[in-house]
Amino acid sequence: MEAATVPAPPTSPRDSVSSWPLRDRVGYYACWAAGLTLIAVAGAIVLYMAFRGAQYFDLGMFVESPNAALDQSQSGGFRDPLIGTALLLVLSTAIAAPLGVTIAVWLTEYGRPSGLARTVESAVEVVAGTPSIVLAMFGLVFFQQQWISFLTFSSEGSNVVLGRSFIAAAAMMSLIALPLVVGATREALNAIPGHVREASYALGKTKAATIRRVLLPAARPGIGTGTALGMGRVAGDTAIVVVLLGAVMQINNGAGGSVFGLFRGLGSTLTSYVYYNSPAGEGLAPEKAYFAAFVLLLLVIVLNFVVTRIARGREQPWTR
Amino acid sequence: MRAGGFWTDARVERLLGGVACIVLALIAGMIAFVFQKAWPSFAHNGLAWFGGGGDVDLQLEDIFNSPADPAHYVYTLHAWPLLWGTFVVTVGAVLVGMVFALLSAIFIVEFAPQRINRVLEPVVRLLAAVPSVVYGLIGILVIVPFVGEHLISLDRKESVANVVQLDGAGLGVGVLILTVMIVPIMIAIVVDALRAVPHGWREGAAALGANRWRVMWTISVRTARPAIVAAAVLATARALGEAIMLSMVAGSASFAPNPIDGITFLFEPTRPLASALVENVEGLSVVPFGQTLFAFAAVLLVSSMLLSLAGFAAKQPMRKYGVRP
């Protein structure tokens, strides 16, 4: 939602709600009720999670690895899930941001042949609408192919390609973020007036140079907004983690201790930690689930805050 | 970048276009891979796959325990309870959410004072961003116990005790939380559309003596109808694929809630396709079981794809008012 650019609604001083017919007044108050309910629901969620988070606050959770133990004082914290979430955020953004920007630039600046552009446009829409659990299942079959088995986890001395790893999960997660990056970048590019491009051409720049030197820098806030929105969705997704990283809690290094080994290893994220520690995952450690969920919620709120800040800083020479 | 270097305009255009086409390849690949895996399950059951009969949980168990010999794999599955659960939960949440989202959108665009709007817009964005597992956690630890203890009477529990157990987790809670999850998506689309209604049209109605509610209802909402349809369709696609939250709060029993049961209907447990999928992933390595799960994914893929395309098409008429989908 963009800030209101519409002028003030048409009203007359004599148009007071109490003089309206009953039907209209019902609608009016229903609108107020709906709006206030939204605020109440959001407030309740944040306050309740903050309360639980404060109640079960434990700094040690950040540095302890999770342990499978029935005694909850021995079951550790969520150090590994935190690393997993960070890893997935970095990897999936590294895939989604360049790909999304490329697609957006092609759609807005070239878009020829137009039939193909329309098809790509609706394809991005289809990706946006595909449930993450379906993306996860697709990722599983895709990464089970033998020729890319070096990207996924395999246990010592076994040839079975499970199709699971941080890389596989990040690749599928990037598809969640992709449509958001494309959408925000397109919006930013469309907001750049045509005369800016023409000025660049008049100075002898090619189209490619104009895109790189003029349009992309101008669209940077839009790209940032889309990426941050996408990161929020990636951090909050559970289905892909459950399918593509499995039910292990600790980070399970693939081959050796190298960074690439970590990428093709298995692990968990904050979301799967919450899921498996909730009654649904039979972890039966609601206090740990609450605290992890609180941290997750904080992360998402911070990303949201970043989005708002970036969107506010959208001041360009030609908008002044 | 020098003009006339290697990166000429024609090359750049072809490169960018090529990259953009990756998305098309991706979707083609998705359909091909998922259906190739899912085919045995559909082929063995035919149209009965979508029909009812028997207990789905028991059928899934039989599939999981099939003999290791490929010739004797068990595939029999009648997935109707799962499909019905998906349908009821989705339609329920979208219907409730639609009314709510429309009223909220009108409130944001027309009636809310500036000060409330400054709170409401971040609130909508926040509700859209809260991870589904957090919604699920609140649902399973707060709402489900509350419903189980205070809203379902013992009589009600006993009346269906021989069919299904009512413990609070069920259809009603699932629909409630799902509604909260999809309302922000709908609000965002409808608000954009309402704001794009030409100002002159509304002024014209106001000049003819219509009050603010009438102007909103008869001019703006009517103009924004395509966007409202699109919002409903896209929210349906989102609701359809919600797996984690529903698997936590909807009762996790493949039971088809029966509307004839009156109020009890709302408390009956159900299990949509996506939840069934995510709860059974541990069994993926059993070949026929994995193929059955891929059949679930295929059904979800096709329905969400059709819904996305329908939503994309529904948004097009709004373009003439200057709203970019």
| A243 inside 8 A of chain B by CB | yes
| Length of chain A measured in residues | 320
Query: Which of A38, A229, A231, A273 is the mutation pick for testing B, counting most B CBs within 10 A?
Result: A38
Using CB atoms, which residue from B12, B112, B126 is nearest to A42? B126
How many domains does chain A divide into? 2
Q: Taking the domains of chain B in order of start, what are their residue ranges?
A: 82-321
A220 and A77 together in one domain: yes
Checking if the pLDDT of B241 tops 60, the result is yes
Q: What pLDDT is stored for residue B302 in this prediction? A: 94
pLDDT at A105: 94
Q: Which helix (H) or strand (E) holds B213?
A: helix B212-214
B315-322, long-range: CB < 8 A, 24+ apart: B315/B226, B315/B227, B315/B230, B316/B226, B317/B226, B318/B193, B318/B196, B318/B224, B318/B226, B318/B227, B318/B230, B321/B193, B321/B196, B321/B197, B321/B198, B321/B223, B322/B196
Out of A5, A11, A32, whose CB is closest to B212? Answer: A11
Buried residues in A25-42 as b, exposed as e (16+ CB within 10 A): eebbebbeebbeebeeeb
- The pLDDT of residue A29 is 93
B53 to chain A, any CB pair closer than 8 A? The answer is no
- The alpha-carbon gap from A139 to the nearest alpha carbon of chain B, in Å, equals 9
> CB of B304 within 8 Å of any CB in chain A?
yes
pLDDT at A30: 93
At A11 the pLDDT is 54
Mean pLDDT within A207-231:
90
Task: Find out whether B32 and B301 touch, Cβ atoms under 8 Å.
Answer: no
- What is d(CA A239, CA A171) in angstroms, rounded to the nearest whole number? 14
Q: What average pLDDT does chain B have?
A: 87
Q: Which tens digit of pLDDT belongs to each residue from A309-319?
A: 877 765 666 66
| Minimal C-alpha gap between B25 and chain A (Å) | 10
CATH of the domain at A259: 1.10.3720.10
B134-168 burial, b for 16+ CB within 10 Å, e for fewer? bbbbbbbbebbeebbeeebeeebbeeeeeebebbb
Count Cβ–Cβ pairs < 8 Å, chain A vs chain B.
300
Interface test with A, best of B1, B15, B130, B294 (most A CBs within 10 A): B130
Give the mean model confidence (pLDDT) for residues A48-57. Answer: 90
- Are residues A42 and A71 both part of a single domain? no
- Inspect the interface and report whether the beta carbons of B309 and A125 lie closer than 8 Å: yes
Average pLDDT over residues A288-299: 91
If you average pLDDT over every residue of chain A, what do you get? Answer: 85
Does the domain at B82-321 match CATH 1.10.3720.10? Answer given as yes
Model pLDDT, residue B90? 94
Q: Give the separation between CA A66 and CA A249, rounded to whole angstroms.
A: 6
Is A144 within a domain?
A: yes
Residue A5: pLDDT band by 50, 70, 90 thresholds?
low
Note the pLDDT of residue A156: 63
For residues A161 and A38, state if they share a domain: no
pLDDT > 50? residue B165:
yes
Side-chain half-sphere of B166: how many Cα atoms within 13 Å?
A: 27
* Contact state of A126 with B27 under an 8 Å Cβ cutoff: yes
Q: What is the mean pLDDT of residues A283-292?
A: 83
Q: Which two tokens stand for residue B99?
A: 């009314």
Contact A131 B300 (CB under 8 A): yes
**Mean pLDDT of the A214-240 span:** 91
Q: Is there a contact between A42 and B132 if contact means CB atoms under 8 Å apart?
A: no
Answer yes or no: do A272 and A143 share one domain: yes
Domain assignment present for residue A11? The answer is: no
* Residue A220 to residue A306: CA distance in whole angstroms: 14
Question: What does the pLDDT average to over A141-162?
Answer: 76
A275 and B133 in contact by Cβ < 8 A?
Answer: yes
Furthest-apart CA atoms within chain A: distance in Å: 83
The confidence score (pLDDT) of residue B63 equals 87
CB-based contact, A67 to chain B, within 8 Å = no
Identify the pLDDT of residue B3. Answer: 47
Tell me the chain B residues in contact with residue A49 when contact means C-beta distances shorter than 8 Å. Answer: 134, 138
For residue A266, the cross-strand partners are: A252
Q: Let me know: does A138 contact A172? Beta carbons within 8 Å.
A: yes
Kindly write down the DSSP assignment for every residue of A121-158, as one continuous string: HHHHHHHHHS-HHHHHHHHHHHHTSGGGGGGS---TT-
Residues A35 and A105 in one domain: no
Pairwise CB contact (< 8 Å): A1 & B141 = no
State residue A75's pLDDT score: 73
Does residue A197 sit within a domain?
yes
User: How far apart are the C-alpha atoms of B270 and B171, rounded to whole Å?
Assistant: 6
Q: Which of A238, A301, A303, A304 to mutate to test the interface with B (most CBs of B within 10 A)?
A: A238
A106 and A48 in a single domain? The answer is no
pLDDT class of A119 with cuts at 50, 70, 90? very high
Q: Is the pLDDT of residue A45 over 70?
A: yes
Neighbours of B209 (CB within 10 A): 9
Nearest CA in chain B to A100: B20
Q: What confidence category does residue A201 fall into, taking pLDDT thresholds of 50, 70 and 90?
A: very high
Sort out which chain B residues have CB atoms less than 8 A from A297's CB and list them. Answer: 130-131, 134
Asked if A82 and A199 sit in the same domain, the reply is: yes
Measured distance CA(B289)–CA(A44) in Å, rounded:
41
B 201-240 residues inside an 8 A Cβ radius of A: 202-203, 206-207, 211-215, 217, 234, 237-238, 240
Q: Which domain holds residue A257?
A: 61-319
pLDDT for the residue numbered A215? 92
Distance between A124 CA and the closest CA of chain B, angstroms: 7
Q: How confident is the model at residue A14 (pLDDT cuts 50, 70, 90)?
A: low
B200 touches chain A (CB under 8 A): no
**Is the confidence at residue A98, as pLDDT, over 90?**
yes
Which of A5-19, A34-48, A83-97, A209-223 has the least mean pLDDT? Answer: A5-19
What integer pLDDT is reported at residue B190 of this predicted model? 92
| pLDDT tens per residue across span B262-306 | 778 888 888 889 998 988 888 888 888 989 999 999 999 999 999
Query: Where residue B325 falls among pLDDT bands split at 50, 70, 90?
Result: very low
When pLDDT is averaged across residues B60-88 and rounded to a whole number, the result is 87
In a domain, A192, yes or no: yes
What is the value of ipTM here, to two decimals?
Answer: 0.89
pLDDT confidence band for A2 (50 / 70 / 90): very low
Whether residue A264 sits in one domain with residue A243: yes
State phi, psi for A58 to the nearest 5 degrees: -155, 105
| Interface list for B 8-27 with A (CB within 8 A) | 8-9, 12-13, 16-17, 19-24, 26-27
Cβ neighbours of B242 in A, within 8 Å: 131
Q: How confident is the model at residue B103 (pLDDT cuts 50, 70, 90)?
A: very high
For A84, residues 6+ apart whose C-beta sits below 8 A from its C-beta are: A166, A241, A245, A251, A267, A268, A269, A270
| CB pair distance less than 8 Å for A137 and B297 | yes
pLDDT reading at A206 higher than 60: yes
**Mean pLDDT, rounded, for B221-228:** 89
Euclidean distance between CA atoms A281 and A248, whole angstroms: 12
A103 in B contact zone (CB under 8 Å):
yes
Chain A 256-315, CB below 8 Å of chain B: which residues? 271, 274-275, 278-280, 286, 289-290, 293, 296-297, 300-301, 303-304, 307-308
Show which of residues 262-291 on chain B sit within 8 Å of chain A, judged by CB atoms: 274, 277-278, 281-282, 284
Question: What are the distances in angstroms from CA A148 to CA A88, A251, A266, B29?
Answer: 19, 21, 16, 15
Q: State the DSSP code for A266.
A: B
Given this model, what pLDDT does residue A257 score? 63
pLDDT for A4 beyond 60: no
Same domain for A32 and A74: no
Quick check: B318 pLDDT over 60?
yes
The CB density around residue B313, as the number of other CB atoms within 10 Å, is 16
Look at residue A304 in the predicted model and tell me its pLDDT: 85
Residue of A17, A138, A310 to mutate when probing chain B, most B C-beta within 10 A: A138
Q: Are residues A177 and A46 in the same domain?
A: no
Q: What is the model's pLDDT at position A1? A: 46
Structure tokens at B42: 């559909």
Segment A263-270 mean pLDDT: 85
A97 & A216 share domain: yes
Task: Decide if B308 and A129 are in contact by the 8 Å CB cutoff.
Answer: yes
Answer yes or no: is pLDDT of A15 > 80. Answer: no
CA–CA separation, A254 vs B299, rounded Å?
33
